[in-house]
Amino acid sequence: MQRGLFFFERFLLVGGRRPWNVLLAARLAGTIEAAELHRALVQLQARHPMLCVGIVQKGKRPHFVTPDPIPPISLRIIDRTDDEDWFEAVRHEIDLPFDNAHGPLLRVVWIRSSAVSELVLVGYHCICDGKSMLLLTRELIAELGGIRPEPVPVRPAPRRIATIHELFTEDRRLSRRWRSLLSHASAAKWLLHAATGLARRGPAAAVLPSYVIRWTLEASTCDALRARCRDETVTLYAVLATAFLRAVRKVRPAQARNRLLCPIDVRPMLPAIEADMLFGYPDTVHLSIDRALDQGFWEQARKLKRDLTARRGRLDPRRTLLTAEWLHALSDWFIDLQLHGKARNDLMFSHVGEAVVPPGASVLGFLSSMPWRGTTAVFSLLDQGCVRFFLVARETSLPSADAERIRACAMSLLDAELGVPAQAAPRSGRRRSTR
C-alpha cells in the first residue's frame, strides 16, 4: 500500500507531534503459548492491511506505506504478579509514541501467567477507533484457539480503501459552488490566523503526562440503572452524560462550560466501511443540559437524548469527508489550533456499548490518550453486566483532585436517583502516569 492520508487521518495523526493512542485491555482464562500468540498476530496483519503500514512524508503530505519486508507487530511480555499489572501497562503505554516511519501502528503487551493472562492492545488513532480495537480483540482471541469452541471462519481479507471516493457510492463530486468556495481556503487561512491570534506558529506548551482514573459501576447498580432508563424512556448514554455535566458544574462552577463532546460512529452512514474493516474517523456533536439545576434529572436526560438524536440525524459524514479533502493545506493550522487553543468542552464522553467477546474472556476497559490542550475524556463500556469507566486528563487540563471529585459526584447523583444509600467512596484505581 502507498497512499496519502485523508484529511481526517492527518488530523488524528496530530502531525506526528504527539501520540494519539487507543488502548483496549482484555483478560483471558487459561494458558497462552507464545508461538500461538505470534501466529495470531501474523494472521491479524494478513487480514488487515492497515496493520502493516508505516507513515512516511512524501512532499507536503504524509503517506501510508507498506515496507518490504513487513515488520511484525511488536509484542512486549510481562510476567504477571497480580491483578493490577495490566493497568500498570496501560499507564506506561498511553503516552508512548509509535515508530511511525517503520510501523506497524499497533502493538501488544502480554501480561502472562499459567492460569490467566491480560492482553493490552495499543493502536494509533489514525488507523483505528474503539470499535476497531474491539474487533481486533475478538479476532485475536478467536485466533488463539481454545478460547472459543467454534472454528475461526476462513474468509478473504476486507478490501482496503485506496481513495476517499471509494467511501461513497453516489454524489462523489462536490458542487461547483463548494469547489469555488474551498479553492479560497488558503487565503482564508491567514484571515483566521489574524482573527484568532494564531498567526505565529510555535512549539506547543510543555506537556505533562496523562493520568488515568478508573472505576466500575457494579452489575447490581447497573441493572437497576438500565431498568430505570427503560422506565424513563432514555438511553444509558444520555443518563451518564447528564450526570457528568451536572457533576462538572457542581465541582467547578466557575470553569464549567456546559458542553460535552460526543463521538458518533459513522459506519452505519458509510456503507463502504465493512464490519470487519479498521476505521479511525468519528464525527462529533456537542451536547448540553439546561442551566437550571433544579430541573428534574430525568427530564434533563430525556432532552439530551432528543438533542443527540436530532444532531446525529443531521450529520452528513460523506459531505464532511469530501469537503475536508480540499483542506489539506490547512491541516497544520487545524492541528495547531487544537494544540494551542483553549478547551471549549467540559469533557469528551465516549461509550462503545457492550463488549462482546468469546467465552473465557472479558474486556477490562478501553481508553485513549488525549493530545489536545485542555481536553478531558471519559470512556466507558459494558462488560459482564458492569460499566467500566476511565477518565483520562492531564494536570494542565483538569487537576486530578477535581477529577476525583467529579467522578464521586457523578456516581453519587446516579445513586441518589436510584435511591441507593450513600456509601464510602469505592477504590477508584487512580494511578498517575509516571512517564
- Name residues whose C-beta falls within 8 Å of residue 301's C-beta, 6 or more positions apart in sequence: 232, 234, 238, 239, 241, 242
Give the per-residue pLDDT at 271: 84
Helix, strand, coil % over all residues of the chain, rounded to 5 = 40, 20, 40
pLDDT given at position 435: 36
361 and 285 assigned to the same domain: yes
Q: In the block, which residue shows the cell 427503560? A: 230
Are 242 and 104 members of one domain? no
d(CA 432, CA 409): 20
Dist. CA 431–CA 429, nearest whole Å: 6
Cis previous bond, 69, omega within 30: yes
pLDDT of res. 403: 97
| 254 and 392 belong to one structural domain | yes
In-domain check, residue 199: no
Q: Are residues 144 and 216 in the same domain?
A: no
So what's the pLDDT on residue 167? 63
- Residue 273 in grid coordinates: 466501511
Within a domain: 189:
no
CB atoms within 10 A of CB 265: 18
* pLDDT number for residue 160: 59
Task: DSSP letter for 373, please.
Answer: T
Per the structure, the complete domain to which residue 219 belongs is given by 211-432
Question: 122, 148, 174 — which closes off a domain?
Answer: 148
217 with 137, same domain: the answer is no
Strand, helix or coil for residue 118: strand
Q: How many helices (H) and strands (E) does the chain have?
A: 12, 15
Q: Find the distance separating the first CA and the last CA of the chain, reported in whole Å.
A: 34
How confident is the prediction along the chain (435 residues), in pLDDT tens digits per residue? 788 999 999 999 998 889 999 999 999 998 999 999 999 999 999 999 999 999 999 988 999 999 999 999 999 999 999 999 999 999 999 999 999 999 999 999 999 999 999 999 999 999 999 999 999 999 999 999 744 434 444 444 445 566 666 665 554 454 455 555 554 554 455 445 445 544 444 455 567 899 999 999 999 999 999 999 999 999 999 999 999 999 999 999 999 999 999 999 999 998 888 888 899 998 999 999 987 656 799 999 999 999 999 999 999 998 888 888 888 888 888 888 888 877 789 999 999 999 988 888 999 999 999 988 788 999 999 999 999 999 999 998 899 999 999 999 999 999 999 987 655 444 444 444 433
CATH number of domain containing 230? 3.30.559.30
Total number of domains in the chain? 2
- Out of 148, 166, 189, pick the residue that ends a domain: 148
Q: Are 273 and 167 in contact (CB under 8 A)?
A: yes
d(CA 380, CA 214) in angstroms, rounded, equals 10
One domain, residues 227 and 132: no
* Pairs from 414-421 (Cβ < 8 Å, separation ≥ 24): 414/217, 414/221, 414/225, 414/239, 414/240, 414/243, 415/221, 417/228, 417/297, 417/298, 418/221, 418/224, 418/225, 418/228, 420/221, 420/224
pLDDT at residue number 155: 44
Alpha-carbon torsion 396, 397, 402, 407, what sign?
A: negative
Q: Is residue 130 a contact partner of residue 24, using CB atoms and an 8 Å limit?
A: yes
Residue 422 and residue 285 share a domain: yes
Which of 148, 182, 201 represents a domain boundary (last residue)? Answer: 148
Cα separation, 153 vs 143, whole angstroms? 10
CATH number for the domain including 65?
3.30.559.10
- Are residues 104 and 226 part of one domain? no
Segment holding 381, helix H or strand E: strand 377-383
Residue 364, in any domain of the structure: yes
